[in-house]
Structure 1
C-alpha cells in the first residue's frame, strides 16, 4: 500500500508544482513582472534578509547595461538557466526592474555617458591613481564609475577580481605594488567615498515624478561624414515606459533618413531605442531631462558602433529655434544657412554686423536664408531671432581660419571581416576651424572655435616604421570627401612583407580651403587587430 501511495504521489507532483507556482506567481493575463522573475531566478544563491532584500544584489546600483552584464555573467560563469515563467523576454524584464529600482540618477551617470553612447575614441582623463592604476588598466574607468556599492560590496568586487583574474597582481600596473593590499586599503575606501550606494542625487531622483515621453519631438543632430541633420521623433506609449517610435528627417545635403522601431525607458530617463532606418539597424542611447522637455545622446549602427549621430530631441511645444547650419560665416561674405525648429513665425533678424538679405524658403519648422556679414564685423558668436524665438549662439563670425584641429585627435580603427566573427571598426574625422585670438597665437585660451568645415582628406605614414611597412597601402582607405576611414580585411596578408596583418600607423590629413589659402590639420590613426570581447560597457 505504501508503494502504491508513493506512486500516486509521484503522479501528483506535476499538479502540485502547478498549484505551488500559482500560489507564488498568480496566473493572470499580465506576464510575470521583473520582481517575480528575480525571485524565481536569483533567490537560489542570493539569500533574502528579514526585509526581503537579496544578498549582494540589494547593495548595488547600476545602469541598464551594467545590470545586463551582471545577468549575462550569471549565465556564463554560474550556468544560470533563466526561468522565464510566462515572460517573452525575461532578461529584459529583470534588467528593467533592477535599473528602475537600483539605477543611477541623471547627475551620477552624466560624466560617464560616453561609454553608454559607444564613443569609442574617447580618451579618459582619470588623474586619480585609484582609477588609473587599478580600475582603468583593464577596462575603462567609466565601467566602474557607473556603479554604486556600499563598502562591503566594493570589497567583494576586489576579491572577485583576484579570484577570477589571478594574474591581475602580476600584469602591468599591478606588479609595481602590493596590488591586493593597495586595492583593499586604498581603492575600496576611495570608491566607497566617490561612488557610494546612497547619495542625495539618487534619493531625490528616486522620489521625483518621472516624465512620460509620448508625443512629437524635434531632432537636431550631426553625423561625421554625413553632416547636419534635422528631423522628428514620434513616440507612442504602448505600456508603461515602452514606446513605438517613428523617426524621420534629412541631412543638410537632402539625404533622407527614416524608419521606425521600439523604445524602453529605464530609471525614468534612460531612453533606449532600436530602430530600422533606411538600410541600417540603429540603437539610440539618450538621457531625458528631469522636466521631460529634452533627450540628448547618440544613436549608432548596431554592426558599426563607431558610426553614429550626436542628437538632441526637444519636445514640440510652443515656438523654438533650435539650430542654424552651417553655424559660421566669414566676415565680409554672404552664406546660405538653414534654420530649424518648430512653431516658428515672424521676421528673421540677427545681431548688428549681420543682415538677412533674402529668404529662400520659410515654414513653421524652419527656413533657408541668405545672410550677409559686414566686412568689419567683430569676431565672435551672434544671435539669430525667428519671430519671438531667439537662438544664441547661432552663428560664429570669423575673420579667417588660422588653424585646423582634426577630431578625434587620436583614433583607433580595427581590421575585421574576411570570414572572421568581428566586423571591421572604421573611423570618421571632422575638420574644426579655429581663429587666433587677440594675442595672435594659436592654441591659447582666447582663440575662437569656428566650426566644422568641408575638407579634402588623405593619409600618410605616421613615422619611419610605418613608411617602411608601406602602411598607407595596406592599412585601409579614407574617403577624400567625407573623412570616413574604412578599415581593411583581417587575417595575414600574403602580399605584405612577412605576411603580416593589415595593421598600420597613419596620419590623417585635412586640407581646408579658406579663400585663396589652404589650411592643414592632422590627427593620429592607429589601425590595429580585432577586439574579441565587446561587452556593453568596456
Structure 2
C-alpha cells in the first residue's frame, strides 16, 4: 500500500546552494543508473517519457512505485525520495493547476467530483478519481501512450461497464486524449510564470498562526513554528488546542516541493499525522490527518506572522439576544474586534497577536445574516448573526464508512459528520450559520436495510459527536446468510434551538475494506 509518508522524510545537506547542486547530481545519477535502461536519454538531463510529463509529488511517487511493482525497478527509499523531490521541482504543477483537484491530494475521500464532461467521467473516472488525470500534464503523444498503457495493462477495460457500449479505444484516442492535451497541456503560461516566481525556502521559516476544524472534535487554533530550510526541509512544532481545551501539540519534519507543496509528518499527542498543504500568498491551506485513519483530519489554514490578517472566528456565529465567548484567530492582531452593528464586545477574556478571546452580546434586534468581523485594519467576512435555525444540513451529505479490524490488516474507516445550521435573512435569502452541536443517530436507508437490520450490525453512532464506528470485518453468523457487517443508513442530526428541534439527514454506505489506498485515489 502506497503512502505519502515518504514525502516528508528530510534530507540533510550543508548549505542550500550545495544541497541543490548535490540533489541534482544525485538525481541525474540515479536516473542514469536505474531508469535509463528503459528510458532513452535525449540529452544530459532529458529522457523519453520521463521528461514529457508534469505531476504532483504524489503523482511522481505513484509513477516510481508503478515502475517497481510492474517493471521490477529496484530502488532504495532514499533514492526514490531524491527522485520525487527532483521531478516535482523540475516537472511539477503550478498552484493554479492543482486548485480544482486538491481534495484528492488531501485525502478527502467523501468528495463528490464534478470535474469534466460526462464522457470524461465515463471514460476516465469510472476506475479511479477524475482528479488523477487532472493532476497531470502531458503533450497529446503522452496522453496517447497513457491510453495504450491502460489497454495493455487492463485489457478488460473495453468490456467492463461503460466500456463495452462504445468503441473504447477509438473514443479514447480520437476524443479523450486530444481533449486532455488541450485542457491539461504540458506547456502552460501558468507553469512558466510559477517557475519564475517560486519563493525561497527561507520565507517559510518563522511562526505561523493556524486555525482548523475537525469533524467530531470541533475548532482548533495555535502556532506552528518552522525552522531550518536547507534543501527545502524543515523542523516543525505545533502548539495549540481545540475549543474543548484538549491539546493539539506535536513535533515533526516537513519538505517543500515545487515552491508551494508542503508535506509534513508530525507526531501529535502520540499520533502520526500528515500535512498536505498548498503554500501561496503568505498562507498554507489544506488538511492535516491521521496517517492510519485519513478520515480523522482537520481543515487547516496557517498564516505567517508579519502581516495582520484574520484566519477564523470561533465559533462563527451568535444568536440574537444572547451572549457568547468568541475567539478571533489571526496574525499581528491589534485592537479590539468589531462585530458590526448590534453585536457589542462586553469584555476581553484574553489577548495575544495570534488570538483575541472576547465576550460579546448580540442585541435582540440585531440584523441577521452573514457579516464581517474586523480587528484594526483587517477583516474576515465569516461570521453570522441568526435568530432562528431554519434548516440543518449534515456534511458530508453522502459518505462511505468501511468495516475492518477483527484481526485483519485493514482498520475500520469511520464516518465523521458535522451539523451545519442555516438561517434566513430579512430578505428571505438562506445563509449559512455554521457548525453547531447536535444529537446524532442512524436509521435504515430503505426497506431492504430495515429488513437486514443494518442499524444493529453495521456499527455504532456516538450520539454527541457525529462519529460513526463501523462493525467488524468478516462474516457474521448472526446475519442472514452469515454476510458481513455492511449497511445502508441515514445519518440524522437533531439540533435544539430554543424550544424547537430541527433535523437534517445524510446518506452513509458502510462498505467493505478498501485494499488499495494510493496517494491519489
Q: TM-score range by the shorter chain?
A: over 0.9
Give the aligned partner of residue 209 of structure 2.
218
What's 2:420 paired with?
Answer: 432
Give CA deviations for 1:21-61 in whole Å, capped at 9, x if unaligned: xxxxxxxx967622321222111110012564200111111
Q: Are residues 1:385 and 2:378 paired? A: no
Q: SS of 1:350's equivalent?
A: coil
1:46 equivalenced with 2:29 (yes/no):
no
- Once residues 533 and 349 of structure 1 are traced to their aligned partners in structure 2, the CA distance between those partners, rounded to angstroms, is 50
Alignment partner of 1:258 out of 243, 249, 252? 249
Give the match for residue 481 of structure 1. 464
**Residue in 2 aligned with 1:409?**
397
**Aligned-residue offset at 1:417:** 1.1
Question: 1:140-155, aligned counterparts within 5 Å?
Answer: 140-155=129-144
CA apart distance, 1:439: 6.5
Determine if contact 2:290/2:297 at 8 Å carries over to the other structure: yes
Superposed displacement of residue 428, structure 1: 0.5
CA contact (8 A) 1:307 1:427 kept: no
- Matched residue SS, 2:147: helix
* 8 Å Cα contact 1:34/1:95 also seen in 2: no
1:363 Cα shift? 3.2
Q: Does 1:492 align with 2:475?
A: yes
1:87-166 → structure 2 map (5 Å cutoff): 89-166=78-155
Deviation at 1:222, TM superposition (A): 0.6
Q: Which of the residues 185, 190, 193 maps onto 1:196?
A: 185
Once structures 1 and 2 are overlaid, which stretch shifts more, 211-220 or 452-461? 211-220
Compare relative contact order (CA 8 Å, sep 6+) and give the higher one, 1 or 2: 2
Structure 2: any 5+ residue segments left out of the alignment?
Answer: 1-20
Report the equivalent of 1:323.
Answer: 312
Unpaired runs of 5+ in structure 1? 1-28, 441-445
Match of 2:292 among 298, 303, 317: 303
8 Å CA contact retained: 2:302, 2:311? no
- 1:78-121 CA-to-partner distances (Å, cap 9, x unmatched) read 10112x5xxx7110000000010001110001110000000010
**Alpha-carbon spacing, 1:235–1:52, altered in 2? closer, same or farther (3 Å):** closer
Is the contact made by 2:303 and 2:330 (CA closer than 8 Å) also made in structure 1?
A: no
Q: CA deviation at 1:302?
A: 0.6
Cα distance in 2 for residues equivalent to 1:243 and 1:537: 24
8 Å Cα contact 2:449/2:489 also seen in 1: yes
Q: Matched residue of 1:306: which SS? A: coil
1:418 matched to which residue of 2? Answer: 406
Aligned residue number for residue 395 of structure 1: 383
Provide the C-alpha distance between the structure 2 equivalents of 1:530 and 1:498, rounded to a whole number of angstroms.
19
Partners of 1:192 and 1:319 lie apart in 2 by 42
Bigger Cα Rg: 1
3-state secondary structure, aligned to 1:240: helix
Structure-2 separation of matches of 1:531 and 1:205: 37
Could you tell me whether the CA contact under 8 Å between 1:321 and 1:389 is conserved in 2? no
CA RMSD of aligned residues (A): 1.7
Q: Deviations over 1:386-438 (max 9, x none)?
A: 3x243221420112100100000000011111121211111100000111355
TM-score under structure 1 normalisation?
0.90
Assess if the C-alpha contact under 8 Å between 1:416 and 1:489 holds in 2: yes
The 1:318/1:157 distance shift into structure 2, 3 A limit, reads closer
Question: How far apart, in 1, do the equivalents of 2:117 and 2:22 lie?
Answer: 49
Aligned residue number for residue 506 of structure 1: 489
Match status 1:374 vs 2:363: yes
Alpha-carbon distance between aligned partners in 1 of 2:355 and 2:274, rounded to the nearest angstrom: 27
Closer/same/farther in 2, CA of residues 197 and 431 from structure 1, 3 Å limit: same
Deviation at 1:455, TM superposition (A): 0.3
C-alpha change, 1:434 and 1:165, in structure 2 (3 Å) is same
Cα displacement (A) at 1:336: 1.6
Deviation of 1:318 after TM superposition, in Å, equals: 4.2
Aligned mates of 1:49, 1:334 — CA distance in 2: 69
Q: Does the 8 A contact of 2:421 with 2:434 survive in 1?
A: yes
CA contact (8 A) 1:505 1:525 kept: yes
The answer for the alignment partner of 1:341 in structure 2 is 330
Indicate conservation of the 8 Å contact 1:130/1:190, yes or no. Answer: no
Aligned-residue offset at 1:133: 1.5
- 1:165 and 1:349 mapped to 2: Cα distance? 60
Farther-moved stretch of structure 1 (342-351 vs 124-133): 342-351
TM-score w.r.t. structure 2 length?
0.93
Equivalent of 1:277 in 268, 273, 291: 268
Q: Which residue of 1 aligns with 2:240?
A: 249
Residue 239 (1) aligns with residue 230 (2): yes
Task: Tell me how many residue pairs correspond in the alignment.
Answer: 498
1: CA distance, partners of 2:352 / 2:426: 40
Q: Which runs of 4+ in 1 moved over 6 A?
A: none
